[in-house]
Chain A
Amino acid sequence: MSRAPALARVVARRFSGLGSERAAQLVPQARFTGPMPWVIAIMVALTAIAAAGGLALANLANAARAELSGGLTVQIVEAEQVERDRQAELVVSLLSNLEGVANVRRVSDEELGALVEPWLGDAGAAVGAVPVPALVDVRLAGPVTERRLDGLRKVLAGPAPAARVDAQAGWLAPVFSAITSLQWLAAGLVVLLAATSAAAVWLAARSALGSNRGTIEIVHLLGGTDSQIAHIFQRSIGLDAVLGGTVGLSLGLAAIVLLGRQFAALGSGMIDGGGLGWVDWLIIAAIPLAGVVIAMLTARLTVLAALRRML
């Protein structure tokens, strides 16, 4: 057959015909009057809040670990104050000259009083009223390991028999464990919300397929490829996802900033380490983009799977 049909001459040129704005009207566009953008907005807002929580917890844990990694505390548990002071001074003197020790400081009586005040009250916290162990705050160059702890214990065992040496990180191990659990919870929430978003898009795409079946059949019989038809839905749901993602990110950011201010107002040293860095903000800003990609991919796969059942 020598004559190339009029259509065949232009078939291979490009597939942008059905990607154009006019052809995209093949699927009626609901936009904000339909539920899809709002579902995506809510999902993106919740994902952003969960992600911000997880990132803040990670920062908090990292800051606390960095602060405590080289720290250890020597307690002088001795009822007799004179002997307690003697051993404490001896510990400070010994450790100050020890290799690998960056800083040694005896915790002052005022600081000790402030530490026990919540339990013993003003009178009880007064130095001497109750025998409180003397504390020596030690910072090692490098992290505290069991081996280094054992070495220090051996050094102090003879001259300061009342000394008990503990890594500061060990005291906060349950807190770190809880933070790690919360981080996993946040990560799980992000994954669940992403899966829920994909499921919502899948349902929306199937619903759109059902209500536009006649149109799809026509385009199909006119020679539209699966990819072209999927592109129409992909584009429509992608636009919904962009609109929903923008609204959702705005809502999420507002909630994050509000919560951040409230936590910052607590003035707790530990929570101060849980602020978000610019990389964290970039990750949060990428959530709606990931939402758009998930939505478009889900729509495409759903439509392609349905079209494969047609001849």
Chain B
Amino acid sequence: MSADEGDIVQFDNVGLRYGAGKEVLSDISFTLYPGSFYFLTGASGAGKTSLLKLLYLAQRPSRGAIRMFGTDVITLPRARLPAFRRRLGVVFQDFRLVPHLSAFDNVALPLRVSGVREAELEKPVADMLEWVGLADRADARPATLSGGEQQRVAIARAVIGRPDLLVADEPTGNVDPEMALKLLRLFEALNRLGTTVVVATHDLHLLRKVPESLIMRLDKGRLGDPTGALRYPPRRNVPGHAQDSGE
């Protein structure tokens, strides 16, 4: 597979095993092009969460190659990984909100990590909380929020920095259908602005809501790609991203 600096992520024959166990992911190859929208599906234990961990740089693969934003992240020195992580937005399945911080401070966390001044983050965080319907819960601690509210805070935290790649693990699992659709529209809006989105979900109805999306189906640690569309995806014009001259 040729390296293309315009690609967000390239996986090439990636395998992952934990310790001395058998591989939980085998021969995974795909390319995420800027502005693409993917749904990652598969049965429980198929390896979705492991694949997402590789995507949000929480895990190194046992074999294969991963390029992210044109850089080989497997051989990348550890000290350079934070700069890559700041270009990602992650919605964890278990939310992973900081329990001592308010909803506002949880959403503001990525901006603070990046050194945004307090005066500059007040408005975007407040706007984002309003967008996910939690403007009146800005001062609430996670323990006092419902599961759905916590999930919306987690999503707001993931998208607040307009990431290049958004990785979401079951992001609509705890919200009602109306809110699920609203959150999906938020992901689509981000996608239209150039963010590549990968959503892991069991909800097959959700897949039909985004007609332009591609489906990544994992089965026992292997990625089905009969047409090669995952490895060589169709490309489209995306705001802010350079066009591949070969297309």
Contacts and interface: CB of A to CB of B under 8 A. Distances in A.
Interface of A: 1-3, 5-8, 10-18, 20, 22-23, 25-26, 28, 214-215, 217-226, 228, 308, 311
B15 interface: no
Nearest to B165: A5
Interface in B66-116: 69-70, 78-79, 81-88, 90, 96-101, 105, 109-116
Contacts, number: 120
B58 A7 contact: no
B17 interface: no
A219 B34 CA distance: 26
Residue among A3, A6, A7, A17 having the largest count of chain B Cβ atoms under 10 Å: A7
B68 to A, nearest CB: 11
B164 interface: yes
Given A1-B5, A3-B241, A26-B100, A223 B115 contact: no
Nearest to A29: B100
B162 interface: yes
22 contacts: A1-B34, A2-B241, A3-B194, A3-B241, A5-B87, A7-B110, A7-B114, A10-B114, A11-B114, A14-B115, A17-B115, A23-B109, A218-B109, A219-B109, A222-B109, A222-B113, A222-B157, A223-B86, A223-B113, A225-B79, A226-B79, A311-B81
B242 interface: yes
- Which among A5, A220, A225, A226 has the greatest number of chain B C-beta atoms within 10 A? A5
Nearest to A25: B100
A311 B60 contact: yes
B175 interface: no
A7 B86 contact: yes
B240 interface: yes
Contacts of A14: 115
Contacts of B90: 221-222
